[in-house]
Amino acid sequence: MLLVVLAAACLVSVPLRGGSLRRLGEIRLRAQWAALGALAAQVLVLGVFTGGAAWWHAVAHVATYALAAYFVWANRAIPGVVVIAIGGALNLLAIAANHGVMPTSPWAERAAGLEPSGAFANSTVLAHPHLLWLGDVLPVPAPLGLNNVLSVGDLLIFAGALVLLQRTTMPPRLGGRGQSALDQV
């Protein structure tokens, strides 16, 4: 839920800076099917089919990153996408090093006020995590169920999204000195 609130805050920042969200419609995205497939698979693996064989969840979880990577590569010229890709790659590195699960710091989980569940979780405390420093180690204690733990990769993903929004939704500069971000893509 916190990630949804952060995404909404990024969107709200656009009109506050004089941009127009309508300009997002002018972005020419390539390989949209890959992004939609990755999102659908994540929803199914992490939200709908949470029981069953853990190995299947781990494989499917990592596979969603392959689809997302293809989408990012196809759209790398769009401002902010490379930063988003670096964040996603850091998350994938931690997940792949831990057999399909993002390692979570026990301290961060407690500090955020989270309770572990019995179902497959894309982020969980592991007995012997690899690359924990790339895992979910940043606690976000918050009210109303917004508490969460974030990774460095998550922060980069949101920073890239903010760059994308700010660079692509601002009106073109006047005076001929520069182009808008959309004109460069």
CA 177, CA 23: separation in Å to the nearest integer? 20
- pLDDT(61) > 90: no
What residues have CB less than 8 Å from 11, skipping those under 6 apart?
21, 165
What residues have CB less than 8 Å from 154, skipping those under 6 apart?
3, 87, 91, 136, 138
- The pTM of the full predicted model, rounded to 2 decimals, is 0.75
- Least confident residue range of 100-114, 132-146, 169-183: 169-183
- Least confident residue range of 43-47, 109-113, 173-177: 173-177
